[in-house]
Amino acid sequence: LSEKRKDDKKKMQFVATCLFGLEKQLGEEIDALGLKRLETIDGRVTFEGKPDDAARANINLRTAEHVFIKVGSFTATTFTELFDGTKALQWEEYIGRKDAFPVKGHAIKSTLFSVPDCQSIIKKAVASRLGEKYRSEWLSEDGDKYQIEFFIFKDVATLMIDTSGTPLHKRGYRPAAGAAPLRETLAAAVALTSRPREDVLLWDPFCGSGTIAIEAAMIMTNRAPGLFRSFAGECFSCLPGDSWDEAREEAKSKINAKSGFEVYASDIDASVLEYAKANAERAGVATHIKIFKKNALTIEKPDRRGTIVCNPPYGERMMTEKEVRELYGKMGRVFSALSPWQIYVLTSCEDFERLYGRRADKKRKLYNGMIPCNLYQFFKPVKK
């Protein structure tokens, strides 16, 4: 592989992907790592850094789904342009003679829309380039795996290599979950939006497997979300091999073990609380989370400042639509009694404000997987 790619000081471009609606928070996280944002579009942020920043981004970004090396971009309205543009890129600077390079991707609002055809063309183009560079008619592909991902948007093809492997929302602390698990990256974004503070109790009364509570505690103790998992890029020759261990050590040194932040995580279903307890232990934040059984409609305000952050049932996978509508009405009455506490509710119900009995002070469009949701934010005191 080219020596210049192994130069730790050489700039590389990366693409971090995220759920729709999380681009702003992801960009702010990239800024906090001292990296330079180049472009933001729906679901992805392109940024610049050094090769060792691939490790730092994967280990530290809370709202990203994947971190890719950007190999290049070009206009492609025909398969010939797609083949030629792909072949012109310097794949040999990343992929070795024996390495595997499967291809997958998406095409949106583009002349080229057949994903299988695009996959086939890109695969042939990369193989042609590598075959010529390595002077070999046959590539064994029995070495390390370099997952190539293409994204064709408005006839511009972007070719990337995935450094994450398993999606970043899979932190490793949640092998089991309740009936309707919330993706960890979205839970982190919701927790961040609620502005958690050391002296303010955060309570999730619909905690399920504890994801919101755990992500909030990880944020407040400054525990990097990818600290205890592995990544595809750890075997890449184009990235410094010691950068992953260095990034982990750097992240560990920043953990705030003395944090006094406290979270309540309660649920009416006692069986999911066992998952929540085990998940909190694996995440290293069990000492910050009080997990207990309680009906969310019977909670009372402790004598302290607090914030409710929750993801109640939508009627998509849990409860009937009628039951959910009744629940939201009762929630409105119970949660209003907690004023001046702030309330943050994530739900897909478009009629939530009317059922809850109060207009949100702010509403934010988000996606829980493919389900469009709103994060309803109530931060003004209830008028008596």
Structure tokens at 250: 């750097």
- Taking residue 195's Cβ as centre, other Cβ atoms within 10 Å add up to 12
**Which burial class, exposed, middle or buried, applies to 255 when counting CB atoms under 10 A from its CB (0-12, 13-18, 19+)?**
middle
CB under 8 Å to 335, separation ≥6 — which residues? 308, 341, 343, 356, 378
Cα separation, 321 vs 1, in Å, equals 58
Cα separation, 89 vs 311, in Å, equals 45
Nearest residue to 61 via CA among 24, 33, 100: 33
Give me the tens of pLDDT residue by residue for the chain, a chain 384 residues long: 444 444 556 899 999 999 999 999 999 999 999 999 999 999 999 999 999 999 999 999 999 999 999 999 999 999 999 999 999 999 999 999 999 999 999 999 999 999 999 999 999 999 999 999 999 999 999 999 999 999 999 999 999 999 999 999 999 998 865 555 799 999 999 999 999 999 999 999 999 999 999 999 999 999 999 998 999 999 999 999 999 999 999 999 999 989 999 999 999 999 999 999 999 999 999 999 999 999 999 999 999 999 999 999 865 455 677 888 899 999 999 999 999 999 999 999 999 999 999 999 999 999 988 889 999 999 999 886
- Taking residue 218's Cβ as centre, other Cβ atoms within 10 Å add up to 26
**Which burial class, exposed, middle or buried, applies to 34 when counting CB atoms under 10 A from its CB (0-12, 13-18, 19+)?**
exposed
Question: Positive or negative CA dihedral for 281, 213, 35, 101?
Answer: positive
Contact 97, 139 (CB under 8 A): yes
